[in-house]
Amino acid sequence: MSKSKKMTLSKKQNLMGWVFLAPGAVLIFIMSFVPMFRALVLSFKSGVGANMKWSGVSNYVRMFQDTVFVQSIKNTFFYLIIQVPVMLIFALILASILNNKDLRFKGLFRTMIFLPCATSLVAYAIIFRSLFANNGLVNLVLVNLGILDQPYAFLTHTTSARIVIIIALLWRWTGYNMVFYLSGLQNIEYSVYEAAKIDGASAVQSFFKITVPLLKPTILLTAIMSTNGTLQLFDESVNLTNGGPANTSITMSHYIYDMSFKYVPNFGYAAAMSFLILVLVAVLAFLQMKVGDKRD
């Protein structure tokens, strides 16, 4: 008798669990998975508003003939390939320096380096746009130091516009990733480092032999998060360079937004482009997990 009572109790608890998680789970399905499939359907249609017609794969064909979109893919990958590794390595180095027990003013340094994360994306994009403007502070300093004869238009030259975006991204996100590494480092016994030091390992050696291998799961997590974020870059492209000059710094998300809400709306085409981002995110995350596993 007591057994059957226990059964009903666990059944009741099992049901209770579904009640607890239902609102969250249902919302994710309706707000994420359902729209995702609708976007896939939409990507095979073209037309405006209620006059959407099936058009096969024409949107996908058009995508690769669209020079602006191809340019936006190139730009996004340029940001991804340069910014993400530089940022993660830099964050890792900073975290291992700040993990040092003998370091003074640790809390102060940590707070200062994390501070950029308190600014909104639009806000920091505008700060950097102002600093790198023709009459901005960076030009003023460079001219006064005699490095430049006259102000350089950072934001209207292709290469420098892209570099400014990368600098801004590094400024905003390095501290954020550092916090993840610092948290991960707290799970590593500090005595491991002390033992390595006694055995004569240099700081560089213990960084590569202890920190990097033990932090691998966290590094993987931040790599996937940053890749995902960079592929969806929008605010910076809009507010820092406005995609310019002549779309040479525009990101994929920025172009998709323009295609849907700024120009004559072409939802089918925009959905096809957005689906490409989804595939890219999935493929890159998969590759990163594969690489992360292999090094075990």
Partner 1 sequence: MYLFLCIVSFISVFPLYWMVSAATNKSADVISGRLIPGGYFMENLNNLLAAQNIGRAFGNSFKYAAILTIVSLLVSSLAGYGFEIFHDKAKDTLMSIILLAMMVPFVATMIPLFQMFSKAGWLNTTIGFILPTISTPFLIMMFRQSARSFPHDIMEAARIDGLSEIRIFFQMFIPTMRSTYAAAMTITFMNAWNSYLWPKVIMTDANSQTMPMVVANLTEGYVTDYGMLMLAVLICTLPTAVVFFCLQNAFAEGITGAVK
Stretch 166-185 residues interacting with partner 1 (CB under 8 A): 171, 175, 179-180, 182-184
**Closer of 71 and 230 to partner 1 (Cβ):** 230
- E strands, 39-91, are 45-46, 53-54
Who's near 284: CB < 8 A, 6+ residues apart?
Answer: 224, 227, 231
> Contact at 8 Å (CB) between 162 and 78?
yes
User: Counting contacts by CB under 8 A, is residue 77 touching partner 1?
Assistant: no
* Cβ 175 to partner 1 shortest distance, Å: 7
| Residue of 7, 81, 282, 291 that binds partner 1 (CB under 8 A) | 282
Across 146-289, the runs of DSSP E, i.e. the strands, are none
Contact 88, 267 (CB under 8 A): no
**Residue 275 near partner 1 by CB under 8 A:** yes
Select from 55-63, 77-85, 152-160, 231-239 the region that touches partner 1 (CB under 8 A): 231-239
Least distance from partner 1 to the Cβ atom of residue 149, Å: 18
Asked whether 15 and 7 are in contact (CB, 8 A), the reply is: no
Contact flag: residue 291 with partner 1 (CB under 8 A): no
**Cβ closer to partner 1: 60 or 114?**
114
In whole angstroms, give the CA distance from residue 287 to residue 146.
47
Rounded to the nearest whole angstrom, what is the least distance from the CB of residue 211 to partner 1 in the complex? 14
Cβ atoms of residues 232 and 119 within 8 Å: no
Return the SS3 of 117.
helix
Stretch that binds partner 1, among 57-65, 78-86, 193-201, 260-268 (CB under 8 A): 260-268
Nearer to partner 1, 45 or 162 (CB): 45
Kindly tell me which residue out of 82, 86, 127, 214 binds partner 1, with binding defined by CB under 8 A: 127
Cα distance between residue 263 and residue 176, in whole Å: 35
Return the range that interacts with partner 1 (CB under 8 A); candidates 61-69, 79-87, 157-165, 274-282.
Answer: 274-282
Q: What share of the chain is helix, strand, coil (3-state, %, to 5)?
A: 75, 0, 20
Q: Closest distance between partner 1 and the C-beta of residue 34, in Å?
A: 8
Q: Residue with structure tokens 């990733």?
A: 177
Binder of partner 1 out of 71, 72, 249, 274 (CB under 8 A): 274
Mask: binding to partner 1, 135-164, rule CB under 8 A, as x and -?
Answer: x-x--xx--x--------------------
The residue written with tokens 């249902």 in the block is 26
Q: Which of 13, 51, 65, 191 binds partner 1 (CB under 8 A)?
A: 13
Q: How far apart are CA 169 and CA 173, in angstroms?
A: 6
| List 77, 109, 152, 207, residue binding partner 1 (CB under 8 A) | 109
Binders of partner 1 among 20-49, rule CB under 8 A? 20-25, 27-28, 31-36, 38-39, 42
**CB neighbour list of residue 120: distance below 8 Å, 6 or more residues apart:** none
